[in-house]
Every structure is written in structure tokens, then in C-alpha cells.
Amino acid sequence: MTRKLNPTLLIVLLAFPILWFAPAGLKSYGLYVVALWLVMSIAAMGLNLTLGYAGLTSLAQGAFLGIGAYATAILTVKAGWSLPASFLVSTGLSFAVGIVLGFPALRVKHHYLAFVTLAFSVVVFLVARNEEWLTGGVFGLANIPRPVLFGIDLGGGLAFYRFVLCVTLVLTLVMWWLLHSPWGRAFLAIRENALRAASLGIDIRAYTLLAFAIGSAFGGAAGSLYAPLVEFIDPAPFALSASFVLLLTVVAGGAGSFFGPFVGAFFSYMLPELLRATGGWYLIIYAAVVLVLVMVSPTGLLGLIDRWRDHRSQRRAATIRAAARPTLGARQGPQQGSAS
């Protein structure tokens, strides 16, 4: 087989330099919004694995974002750890908690799984709000440091944005690797036909737990970047609504499509900021856009492109068929005669 660069990978590698240079002119608030888009894309990528590829409905991604953010905040502020170490621990912790929460996913599906994960989200929120000795309660944790890495001070808006971009690139490549490995094929098989998958030797339990845990680890990783991005965390951004918005992000972008989370996160986290200029109307406009999108394309924004492509290829096929019809008609006679 010849080594051809995969189109998905090509888009990732082309987007990187554009995203590296494009926001250079933005002021600190603009940089914050773009960095937030990337951070939430990471969390949505994780949920896209659990929901879009493995077919598990989770309402806990906001909670994993919170677990990652709090773990990083506590480790860097209270214990004085470095960000890279805290990042690894936060991601690992989310992975471990994800495995534990994955066990119910083996027993219940769809709405029921959504309820189990919803309960978990509420518990995480309550712990963050009530365990003041650890999390600072409603006052939160302030002065989360932005580190100096390899001699580069990440304190500034642009430098930190670029740091987030690099981490996003690495995690995107990790996700790409995962989805194009035999694991990705197994996840897809379980979503499409679990019975058949099991009959082909695919261990449903192991893969379901892994999908959940890896998706959660991405949520934790996003949280770990979120904490130093906003430099202050309290329980509010990790409430149940955060999980709902992340679910919306994945669905709006196109569940099960590789770039869906990025498109969806643009929709959920950047569009509201762009609409802010409309004053008090922005939430209403945003809600209307969501409604129309869900009605027009339940498969998300990228699903819209797929449908357009299908439509075009169908029309092309129809044209070819129409052109071929007279010839077929002429041949029909002798063909029928020769068939025995």
C-alpha cells in the first residue's frame, strides 16, 4: 500500500499554522474566547468519542471538565505543582473516575445512562460547592498560575493561547490515532450492531469502559487547561448546564464526525460572543439558531455537508442512469434471448 496523507490529518496540519498566526491581532478578551473555543473543543472531542463513536449518552462531560479544572487548581495553587504534572494527574484522575462511572454504562443505555451520568454531575457540583476546605466552596480558587515552560512565559494572552493550541493539536492527533486504530473500528462496530460485534470476538465490556474513560480523560484534560486560562474557578461553570451545552455542542457539530466537536464548540462558545453585539437579543437569536439547526439537520452542521454531498452524487448517478437507459433498452432483447 502507498503512504498517502489522510485528508483529515491534512486539514489538521493546515489548520494549525492558520490558528497559530490568525489571532495575533486580537485583544486579550478575543484571545480568551478563541482559547476557550479550543479548550471546549477538547472536551467535546472526548464526548464525541463516548457519544458519537461508541453511542453512549453521557451528561457528565461538564463534571469531568470540573474534575480536571479543580484537580489542576488544587495541585498548582495549594500544592505548588507544575502545570504539566498537574495536567497529567488531572487527565489520569478523570480517566480513572470515567472507568468507575463506565460500569453503569454496561448495564443501562440511552436515557437511563443519561440519568445516571446526570446524577454524577450533580454530585460533582455539590462536592465543589460544599467541600470548602478542598475547593474553596462558592468563593472558588483564585490566582491559578500560568507557568513558564521551556523558558517561555505563558502569562500573556497570546502565549497561553498558543500553548493551548499546541496541546489541542497533540490531543487531536491522539484522538485521530485512536479512531483509526482497530479500537476505533471496534467502537464503531459496538455502536452499529453490538450483537454482531460480540460474535466477532469484540469484548463489549472492555471497549465500552475504555470509550467512557478516554472520553472522560479528554474532559479532564480540557478542565486542566480551563483553570489556568480563566485563572479563577468556582463551581458555577461546571454545573449541570455545562454538561448539557457540551452535549449540544457534539450534536450540533455532528456526532460521530471527526471535526464535529470543533464546529460545535464554535457554535456553542464563540457564536454567543459574536452575537453579544446585538445586546439583550443574543440568547434569543442563539436559541432560534439551535432550534432551526436541530430541525433542519439532526445530524449536525457537518451532517448538512454530508447530505449535500450525498444529494449531489445521487443526482450524478441519476444523470448517468438516464443517459444509459436507451442503450440498455436496445440490449434487452438479445440479452433475454441468450439467458437460459
Tell me: does residue 195 bind other proteins (CB under 8 A): yes
How far, in Å, CA of 200 to CA of 194, rounded? 10
DSSP for residue 118: H
The C-alpha cell at 92 is 489520569
Non-local CB neighbours of 52 within 8 Å, separated by 6+ positions? 250, 254, 255, 256, 257, 260
Size of the site for other proteins (CB under 8 A): 23
CB of 204 to other proteins, least distance (A): 7
Number of other residues whose CB lies within 10 A of the CB of residue 330: 9
Rounded-to-integer distance, Cα 222 and Cα 94, Å: 11
Among 16, 20, 115, 183, binds other proteins (CB under 8 A): 183
Q: Which is nearer to other proteins, 1 or 330 (CB)?
A: 1
Q: How far is the CB of 21 from other proteins (least distance, A)?
A: 32
181 contributes a contact to other proteins by CB under 8 A:
yes
The three-class DSSP label of residue 156 is coil
Minimum Å distance from CB 30 to other proteins? 38
Q: Of 219 and 256, which CB lies nearer to other proteins in the complex structure? A: 256
* Least distance (Å) between residue 202 CB and other proteins: 5
Query: Interface with other proteins includes 192 (CB under 8 A)?
Result: yes
Q: How many CA atoms lie within 13 A of 329 on its CB side?
A: 6
Cβ at position 300, least distance to other proteins in Å: 16
Interaction between residue 1 and other proteins (CB under 8 A): yes
Q: Compare residues 50 and 243 and give the one whose CB is closer to other proteins.
A: 50
Residue 200 is a binding residue for other proteins (CB under 8 A): yes
Distance of CA 81 to the CA centre of its chain: 27
Residue number with CB closer to other proteins (110 or 185): 185
Cell 491522539 appears where?
174
Per CB under 8 A, 18 contacts other proteins = no
Nearest distance in Å: CB 142, other proteins: 40
Binds other proteins (CB under 8 A): choice among 85, 203, 232, 325: 203
Dihedral sign for Cα atoms in the order 267, 269, 270, 276:
positive
Q: Does 198 bind other proteins (CB under 8 A)?
A: yes
Cα–Cα distance for residue pair 220/228, rounded to 1 Å = 13
* Surface-to-core class of residue 54, CB atoms within 10 Å of its CB (0-12 exposed, 13-18 middle, 19+ buried): buried
**Touching other proteins, residues 135-164 (CB under 8 A):** none
Kindly state whether residue 204 participates in binding other proteins, applying the rule CB under 8 A.
Answer: yes
Among 130, 193, 319, 332, binds other proteins (CB under 8 A): 193
Q: Looking at beta carbons only, is 207 or 267 nearer to other proteins?
A: 207
Q: Are 93 and 157 in contact (CB under 8 A)?
A: no
Q: Which is nearer to other proteins, 60 or 197 (CB)?
A: 197
Task: Tell which residue, 210, 273, 213, has the closest CA to residue 40.
Answer: 273
- Alpha carbon distance, N-terminus to C-terminus of the chain: 42
Q: What three-state secondary structure class fits 291? A: helix
Which residues lie near other proteins (CB under 8 A)? Answer: 1, 178, 180-183, 185-186, 188-189, 192-193, 195-204, 206
